[in-house]
């Protein structure tokens, strides 16, 4: 059976894409966990959160029935605290640092508790922030993703009028378009964007792409400052023969289609190979399986030691029935009638450590063949080099170069998030937005 | 296997666990179930004048997710017909002759009424009487309950009336709603009571509804002070029991200990401070009669471990360990020690000592785990860090005496040693 859509019943799709981390059913169940929290001093969980959410405080506030205060504690540090509670790789951040791990006890389910407070805030539409009187200053932000929205929220609170230019027709960035649907639904992302902008003073202009519909020079002329948070977008190519064959797709495009439309409309193969072992690779592999693919194989050129995804993510893929082949690098794609049929892989072995400190894989000379009808490329994303260069931004391989406060080489232009770091977590982008906003405020006043 | 049976003034019970005078002991169906579950005895819910209860009747104190740390009631004495109670008491004694059956009494304040009630109860074959001089609500307005227990002379008078008539052992139950339980206890002993029991409930307001502003329990927009009991009152009850055990007059009679007893450990503590039996209510109301199983087994195992053959081997054993502050050894000094292998870096000891004690814990920042160490020269040995540490035996207190000899406050002053020197 070739690549096709509509493989499952509506119920099966519903079940396969339902919430993977269901929320607490009740106040009582949240309290059982919240009451376990020791309320650590100078807490390791907070120190392990890129946005430094005061976690012991927000959990304590749940136990005192001050959920409004709890949500405020979260949002004041991380305005995307609701989304982060679903997508953060908490096992390597807050929950990974929870002192209960040192007692060999399950850590406090921080993400789930964070979800409890933030979702209640969103549902009840609590207005937890108030804008200061208008300053008359205006700032343009490029990209309505986590970095841009986080920056926008801080600035608007300080009385600045913010205009956000977004190339897609919806906000949220990779949160909306690049993360597995069983973690956050498109509907949730929309609600979250609306909740953030309900503060006022943030105007998002959709379908406005930098370099196409507007230029950095125009923004600089029309606004008092500019924040760039346009992320990364282009999938890294494999640069191997046969890459142009039918059935060879980008993970980002694949995930985007799942999130932008209806599940049954997204085609998937019988035998799918996913190249890479990052979070995006996992999201692509598990979702291919959940769309009805028979066999899904993750192909990674290094070993489990070096994989970028977390153990929890790997377990997720394994539980979904995905196969993993370590030390295998794609060498060639073969096809029939213009459609991919085989993935030829080189068997690798680990050599000396590279610049990332991880041992670099080198070919052994042996090869093996994987019968496939679909190949999803998730070998990383590359920055918008052309756009960055054309905008005269100092950069390294397309990644915008900034100072610690987010300032670029152009006065009044700041940047943060994936377009600077090349692609990290949502929570890192939120923090970059906050830092950029702080620098803009200093620049303006 | 140790023998956990009790002999309280000749009233025998297979174990020292009695149910206190309260709703669990107000009718045959409950009491039979309690005896079937294994309770050693019951104090039948107070009989006396005619009353009428309200609704609601209870409220509670919850703490950090733990339900009913403290329990409060505004219920009165038995509101069932006296004849029915007497008949059922008789039936229960017949069905379980090996269990202790004590009947709690609170008659109207005349000699005749007390004599009449005592005669009626003795007719049932009950083994003992408990005088309710402690109920803090409802009856006091009518000159009964705590108003009797709060005035030693009134208590003395009533006990005298009772002793004129009673032919079975009399236990006088003391109210804690006084500055000291000793004066009333003494008066009761001098008037001839055969035993004491304590404590009754403590007057309380458990909380206020933050929406309606009405304290609880709620009765049509109003509330009243209730009687507080449960685990929260145990430390107060133990202290009051200890004062009875220390006093030369009151220590002559056996005591039944009451106040937050929930486990065999609580019971052992009451007995170590002088109680021959203990009475339980809140724990049974919360969990049912089945809790007595572990109480018996736990006490038995502990006694075996300690080499105690009967409960008399340890009753009162902790009383001599309680002394006056001025007798304490000032040269005894301990300092905290943190076992770095066990430490989970929660920082609770640090912040407690820093904000609430003597700034005796050093902090070395780490990411994400800080390292905490004791500044021994600053540590006063207060125990705070050890008490709040979430890991068993991570923080221990190590003895570092200031001198080899025993020096108490009186001696310390006499030698002119330095004061306010920390």
User: In this complex, do B348 and A41 lie within 8 Å of one another by their Cβ atoms?
Assistant: yes
How far apart, in whole angstroms, are the C-alpha atoms of residue A281 and residue A262?
21
Closest of B297, B307, B392, B292 to residue B342, by C-alpha = B392
> Are residues A429 and A372 part of one domain?
no
Nearest one of B362, B363, B387 to B377, comparing CA atoms: B362
Task: Report the phi/psi class of residue A295: left, alpha or beta, with left for phi > 0 and alpha for psi in -120 to 50.
Answer: beta
* A418, β-bridge pairs: none
Looking at the fold, whether A243 and A370 belong to one and the same domain comes out as yes
> B368 vs A63: CB contact, 8 Å cut-off?
no
Could you tell me whether strands B255-258 and B195-198 are parallel, antiparallel, or unpaired per DSSP bridges? parallel
Which residues, including other chains, have CB under 8 Å from residue A23's CB and lie 6 or more apart? A112, A115, A116, A119
In sequence order, what DSSP letters do the residues of A69-125 get, joined into one string? HHHHHHHHH-TTHHHHHHHS-GGGSHHHH-GGGGGTSPPP-HHHHHHHHHHHHHHTT
Task: Residue A279: name the closest of A305, A328, A224, A316 by CA.
Answer: A316
Asked whether the beta carbons of residue A39 and residue B348 sit closer than 8 angstroms, the reply is yes
Q: Is A38 on the interface with B (CB under 8 A)?
A: yes
Residues of A in contact with B367 (CB under 8 A): 47
Q: Are B136 and B200 in contact (CB under 8 A)?
A: yes
Residue A281 in domain: yes
Question: Does A210 share its domain with A250?
Answer: no
- Whether B92 contacts B31, CB under 8 Å: yes
Same-domain status, A222 and A280: no
pTM for the full predicted model: 0.92
Residues A22-53 have pLDDT tens digits of 889 899 999 999 999 999 999 999 999 999 99
Q: Which of A380, A396, A423 is the last residue of a domain?
A: A380
Whether A294 and A328 share a structural domain: yes
Which DSSP state fits A131? P
How far is the C-alpha of A312 from the C-alpha of A88, rounded, in Å?
12
Averaged pLDDT score across all residues of chain A? 95
Distance between CA A200 and CA A237 in Å, rounded? 41
Query: Is the domain of A257 the same as that of A375?
Result: yes
The answer to whether residue A266 sits within a structural domain is: yes
Instruction: Note whether residue A205 is domain-resident.
Output: yes
Q: Which of B379, B390, B318 is nearest to B348 (CA)?
A: B390
Q: Is A102 on the interface with B (CB under 8 A)?
A: yes
Q: Establish whether B389 is a catalytic residue.
A: no
The rounded percent of chain A whose pLDDT value lies above 90 is: 86
**Helical H segments across B61-179, by residue range:** 82-95, 111-122, 146-149, 152-165
* Structure tokens, A252: 């980002």
Give me the architecture of the B326-415 domain, per CATH.
2-Layer Sandwich (3.30)
| Within a domain: A7 | no
HEC assignment per residue over A252-297: HHHHHHHHHCCHHHCCECCEEEEECCCHHHHHHHHHHHHCCCCEEE
Q: Does B348 touch chain A (CB under 8 A)?
A: yes
Answer whether B391 sits within 8 Å of A45, measured CB to CB: no
Q: Give one DSSP letter per residue of A132-167, joined into a string.
A: PPP-S-EEEEE--SHHHHHHHHHHHHTT-EEEEE-S
What is the pLDDT, as a whole number, of residue A1? Answer: 52
The CATH code of the domain that includes A421 is 3.50.50.60
Which is nearest to A76 in space by CA: A108, A103, A109, A49? A49
Inform me whether the pLDDT recorded for A21 exceeds 90. no
Q: Identify the pLDDT of residue B146.
A: 80
Contact criterion met (CB below 8 Å) for B187 and B175: no
Residues A354, A263: one domain?
yes
What's the number of domains chain A is made of? 3
Residues A318 and A396 in one domain: no
CATH number at residue A109: 1.10.1060.10
Residue A62 structural domain: 22-124
**Domains B6-321 and B326-415 in one fold:** no
In a domain, A305, yes or no: yes
ipTM of the complex: 0.91
Closest by CA position to B22, among listed B171, B195, B227, B216? B227
CB-CB contact of B347 with A42 (8 Å): yes
pLDDT by position in tens, chain B (length 422): 899 999 999 999 999 999 999 999 999 999 999 999 999 999 999 999 889 999 999 999 999 889 999 999 999 999 999 999 999 999 999 999 999 999 999 998 899 999 999 999 999 999 999 999 887 777 677 777 788 899 999 999 999 999 999 999 999 999 999 999 999 999 999 999 999 999 999 999 999 999 999 999 999 999 999 999 999 999 999 999 999 999 999 999 999 999 999 999 999 999 999 999 999 999 999 999 999 999 999 999 999 999 999 999 999 999 999 999 999 999 999 999 999 999 999 999 999 999 999 999 999 999 999 999 999 999 999 999 999 999 999 999 999 999 999 999 999 999 999 998 87
**Cβ partners under 8 Å of residue A111, min gap 6:** A21, A84, A85, A86, A88, A90, A94, A95
| Residues in chain B within 8 Å Cβ distance of A97 | 368-369
- Chain A hits for B347, CB-CB cut-off 8 Å, are 40-43
- Return the closest-CA partner of residue A287 out of A299, A308, A272: A272
Task: State how far the Cα of A83 lies from the Cα of A218, in Å rounded to an integer.
Answer: 32
Tokens 């059922």 belong to residue = B88
Per-window interface: B 140-169 vs A, CB < 8 A: none
Cα–Cα distance, B374 to B359 (Å, whole number): 9
Same domain, A106 and A90: yes
> Is residue A131 one of the residues assigned to a domain?
no
From the list A32, A38, A42, the residue facing B65 with the nearest CB is A32
- Domain assignments of chain B as residue spans, ordered by start: 6-321, 326-415
Q: Does A30 touch chain B (CB under 8 A)?
A: no
The alpha carbon of residue A233 is apart from the nearest alpha carbon of chain B, in Å, by 33
**Thinking of the domain B6-321, which architecture would CATH place it in?**
Alpha-Beta Barrel (3.20)
Both A197 and A223 in one domain: the answer is yes
- Angle, helices A110-123 vs A186-197, to 10°: value is 60
- Of the candidates A115, A98, A83, A113, the one whose C-alpha atom is nearest the C-alpha of residue A47 is A98
């Amino acid at each position: 059976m070739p690549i096709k859509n509509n493989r499952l019943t509506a119920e099966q799709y519903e079940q396969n894409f339902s919430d993977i981390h269901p929320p607490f059913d009740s106040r009582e169940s949240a309290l059982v966990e919240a009451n376990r929290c020791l309320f650590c001093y100078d807490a390791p969980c907070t120190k392990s959160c890129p946005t430094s959410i005061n976690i012991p405080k927000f959990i304590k506030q749940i136990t005192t029935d001050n959920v409004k205060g709890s949500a405020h504690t979260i949002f004041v540090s991380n305005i995307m605290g609701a989304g982060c509670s679903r997508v953060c790789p908490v096992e390597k951040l807050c929950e990974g640092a929870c002192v209960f791990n040192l007692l060999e006890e399950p850590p406090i389910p921080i993400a789930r508790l964070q979800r409890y407070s933030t979702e209640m805030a969103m549902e009840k539409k609590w207005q937890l922030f108030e804008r200061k009187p208008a300053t008359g200053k205006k700032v343009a932000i490029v990209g309505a993703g986590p970095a841009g929205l986080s920056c926008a929220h801080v600035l608007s609170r300080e009385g600045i009028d913010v205009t956000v230019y977004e190339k897609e027709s919806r906000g949220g960035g990779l949160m909306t378009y690049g993360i597995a649907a069983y973690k956050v639904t498109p509907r949730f992302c929309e609600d979250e964007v609306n909740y953030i902008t309900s503060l006022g003073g943030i105007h998002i202009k959709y379908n406005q792409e930098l370099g196409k519909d507007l230029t950095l020079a125009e923004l600089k002329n029309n606004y008092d400052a500019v924040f760039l948070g346009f992320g990364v977008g282009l999938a890294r190519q494999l640069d191997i023969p046969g890459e142009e064959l039918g059935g060879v797709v980008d993970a980002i495009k694949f995930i985007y289609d799942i999130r932008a439309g209806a599940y049954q409309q997204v085609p998937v193969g019988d035998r799918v190979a996913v190249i890479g072992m990052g979070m995006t690779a996992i999201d692509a592999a598990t979702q291919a399986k959940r769309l009805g693919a028979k066999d899904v194989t993750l192909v990674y050129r290094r070993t489990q030691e070096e994989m970028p995804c977390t153990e929890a993510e790997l377990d997720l893929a394994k539980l979904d029935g995905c196969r993993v082949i370590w030390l295998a690098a794609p060498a060639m794609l073969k096809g029939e009638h213009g459609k991919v049929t085989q993935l030829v892989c080189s068997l690798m072995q680990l050599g000396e450590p590279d610049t990332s400190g991880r041992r670099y894989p080198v070919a052994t000379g042996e090869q093996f063949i994987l019968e496939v009808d679909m190949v999803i490329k998730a070998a990383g994303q590359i920055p918008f080099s052309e756009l960055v260069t054309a905008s005269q931004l100092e950069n390294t391989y397309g990644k915008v170069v900034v100072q610690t406060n987010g300032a670029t080489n152009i006065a009044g232009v700041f940047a943060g998030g994936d377009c600077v770091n090349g692609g990290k977590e949502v929570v890192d982008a939120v923090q970059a937005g906050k830092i950029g906003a702080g620098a803009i405020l200093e620049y303006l006043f | 296997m140790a023998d956990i049976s009790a002999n309280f003034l000749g009233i025998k019970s297979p174990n020292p666990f009695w149910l206190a005078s309260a709703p669990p002991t107000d009718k045959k169906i409950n009491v039979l179930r309690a005896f079937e579950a294994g309770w050693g005895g019951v104090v039948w819910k107070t009989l006396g004048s005619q009353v009428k209860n309200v609704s609601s009747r209870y409220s509670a104190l919850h703490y950090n997710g733990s339900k009913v740390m403290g329990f409060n009631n505004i219920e009165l004495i038995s509101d069932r017909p006296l004849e029915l109670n007497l008949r059922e008491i008789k039936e229960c004694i017949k069905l379980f002759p090996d269990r202790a059956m004590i009947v709690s009494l609170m008659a109207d304040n005349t000699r005749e009424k007390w004599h009449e009630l005592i005669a009626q109860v003795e007719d049932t074959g009950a083994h003992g009487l408990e005088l309710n001089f402690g109920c803090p609500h409802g009856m006091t307005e009518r000159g009964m309950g705590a108003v009797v227990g709060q005035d030693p002379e009134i208590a003395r008078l009533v006990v005298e009336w009772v002793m004129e008539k009673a032919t079975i052992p009399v236990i006088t139950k003391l109210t804690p709603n006084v500055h000291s339980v000793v004066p009333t206890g003494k008066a009761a002993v001098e008037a001839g009571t055969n035993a004491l029991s304590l404590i009754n409930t403590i007057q309380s307001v458990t909380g206020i509804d933050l929406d309606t502003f009405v304290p609880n329990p709620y009765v049509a927009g109003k509330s009243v002070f209730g009687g507080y009991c449960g685990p929260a009152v145990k430390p107060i009850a133990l202290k009051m029991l200890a004062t009875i055990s220390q006093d030369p007059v009151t220590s002559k009679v056996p005591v039944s200990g009451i106040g937050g007893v929930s486990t065999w450990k609580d019971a052992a503590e009451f007995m170590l401070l002088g109680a021959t039996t203990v009475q339980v209510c809140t724990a049974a109301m919360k969990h049912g009669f089945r809790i007595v199983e572990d109480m018996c087994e736990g006490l038995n195992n502990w006694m075996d471990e300690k080499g105690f053959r009967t409960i008399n081997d340890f009753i009162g054993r902790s009383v001599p360990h309680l002394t006056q502050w001025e007798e304490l050894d000032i040269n005894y000094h301990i300092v905290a020690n943190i076992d770095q292998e066990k430490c989970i870096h929660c920082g609770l000891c640090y912040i407690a000592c820093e904000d609430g004690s003597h700034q005796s814990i050093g902090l070395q920042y780490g990411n994400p785990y800080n390292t905490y160490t004791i500044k021994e020269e600053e540590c006063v040995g207060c125990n705070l860090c050890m008490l709040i540490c979430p890991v068993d035996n991570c923080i221990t207190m190590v003895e570092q005496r200031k001198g080899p000899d025993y020096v108490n406050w009186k001696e310390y002053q006499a030698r002119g040693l330095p004061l306010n020197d920390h």
